[in-house]
Amino acid sequence: MMRLPNFIYRAPRTIREAADFLAAVPDTTMLVAGGTDLLPNMKRRQQTPATLVGLRQIAELKAITSGPSTGLRAGLTIGAGATLADLVRDPRVRRAYAGLWQAAAQVATPHLRNMGTIGGNLCLDTRCNYYDQNYEWRKAIDFCMKKDGQTCWVATSSPKCLAVSSTDTAPALIALGASVTLVSADETRTLPVADLYRNDGIHYLTRRPTEIVASIHLPPLEGWRSTYWKLRRRGAFDFPVLSIAAAVKLARDGTVEDARIVLGAVASRPMEAPEANRSLVGQPLTDAAIAHASQLAAQPARPMDNTDFALVWRKRVTRDFVTYALRELRGDDVRELSRGIARQELLGLQ
Ligand X SMILES: Cc1cc2nc3c(=O)[nH]c(=O)nc-3n(C[C@H](O)[C@H](O)[C@H](O)COP(=O)(O)OP(=O)(O)OC[C@H]3O[C@@H](n4cnc5c(N)ncnc54)[C@H](O)[C@@H]3O)c2cc1C
* 120 contacts ligand X (rule: CB under 6 A): yes
- 8-10 sheet: strands from edge to edge: 8-10, 51-54, 29-32
Count of CB atoms within 10 A of residue 332's CB? 14
Smallest distance, Å, CB 31 to ligand SF4?
22
Name the residue number minimizing CB distance to ligand X: 120
Smallest distance, Å, CB 333 to ligand X?
26
Angle, CA of 207, 48 and 114, to the nearest 5°: 70
* 309 contacts ligand X (rule: CB under 6 A): no
CB-based contact 293:322 (threshold 8 Å): yes
Smallest distance, Å, CB 317 to ligand SF4?
21
* 116 contacts ligand X (rule: CB under 6 A): yes
Taking the least distance from each CB to ligand SF4, the nearer of 127 and 207 is 127
**CA-only gyration radius of the chain, Å:** 20
Residues in contact with ligand SF4 by CB under 6 A are: 128, 130-131, 144-146, 152-154, 161-163, 201, 306
Query: 3-class secondary structure for 41-72?
Result: HHHCCCCCCCEEEECCCCHHHCCEECCCCCCC
CB-based contact 95:12 (threshold 8 Å): no
To 10 degrees, the CA torsion angle through 41, 47, 50, 56?
Answer: -50
Could you tell which of ligand SF4, ligand X, none binds residue 219, using a CB distance below 5 to 8 A set by kind?
A: none
The residue count for binding ligand X (CB under 6 A) is 32
Residues 206-225 touching ligand X, rule: CB under 6 A, are 212-213
Q: Which residues pair with 32 in a beta bridge?
A: 54
Residues 57-86 touching ligand X, rule: CB under 6 A, are 80, 84
* 107 contacts ligand X (rule: CB under 6 A): yes
The site for ligand X (CB under 6 A) is made up of 30-38, 40, 55, 80, 84, 107-108, 112, 115-117, 119-121, 123-124, 166-168, 212-213, 237-239
